[in-house]
Amino acid sequence: MNSSLIKALLLASVTALLTGAAQAQGLKIATIDFSQVFTNYWKFKQAEAVLTDKAKELELDQKKMVEQYNKLKTDYRTALEKSNDQAVSAEEREKRKKSGDAKLGEMKELEATIGQFDRQAMSMLDEQKRRMRDNLVSEIKAIADLKAKSGGYSLLLDSSALSASGTPVIVFNSGESDLTKLVLTQLNETAPANRITNGGGGGEKK
């Protein structure tokens, strides 16, 4: 029996014990597919579109710099070839060599600029994505907490959660006390012109 299977069985046993203990104490447990709620929340779709547009904008800026770099590279090669032209005077060849060196310097500066731009753009997008995720999780959790409390539940478990080994945290879920649809419906009531359709997920209505 491999270690992943052992962990899964142990996790199932612990979950069963917790559930049994909760029932023995008269506790009500509900579930929610947090992943489904998150990706079907209209604000997630909106934020995702904003991030995509920003990424395209940054990609366009980077493309312009690369085109400028390629032009400098072509100009440098042309100047280098001309500096070796024996048909012109040594003075003219030296002048062309200096022009080529100047182009090479510009290339190196622009190369460094492009590298810095790429790093900053990636960092900015990651930070914007993190803020978006944190804000949405906070909003979803607030509604989920309210629904769980109004339903008289003592514990709300995420049915989409995975353990460190990648196995399901909740091995069995009947769906009888699933709040996924209920939470998602309320969240999407604020969608502009109510254009967003609610995701699936059964559940009781409170």
Which residues span the domain enclosing 110? 3-194
Residue 118 within any structural domain of the chain:
yes
Q: What does the pLDDT read at residue 37? A: 96
> In 3-state terms, the chain is what percent helix, strand and coil (to 5)?
70, 5, 25
Q: Which residues of the chain have pLDDT under 70?
A: 1-26, 171, 194-206
Count how many domains the chain has. 1
Please list, in sequence order, all residues whose beta carbon lies within 8 angstroms of the beta carbon of residue 176, skipping any fewer than 6 positions away. 204
What does the DSSP 8-state code read for residue 199? P
Examine residue 56 and state whether it is found in any structural domain, yes or no. Answer: yes
DSSP state of 188: G
Residue 205 domain-assigned?
no
CA-CA distance, 183 to 160, in Å (whole number)?
A: 15
**Per-residue confidence (pLDDT) for residue 82, from 0 to 100:** 82
Element containing residue 149 per DSSP (H, E)? helix 90-150
Amino acid code (one letter) for 118:
D
pLDDT of residue 143: 96
Q: Is 204 a member of any domain?
A: no
pTM (predicted TM-score): 0.68
Residue 63 lies inside a defined structural domain of this protein: yes
* Amino acid 2: pLDDT: 54
Q: Is residue 199 part of a domain?
A: no
Q: Residue 80: its pLDDT value, please?
A: 82
pLDDT digits (tens, 9 = 90+) for 143-155: 999 999 999 999 9
Name residues whose C-beta falls within 8 Å of residue 101's C-beta, 6 or more positions apart in sequence.
none
In a domain, 127, yes or no: yes
**Separation of alpha carbons 3 and 180, rounded Å:** 32
| Residue at 107 is within a domain | yes
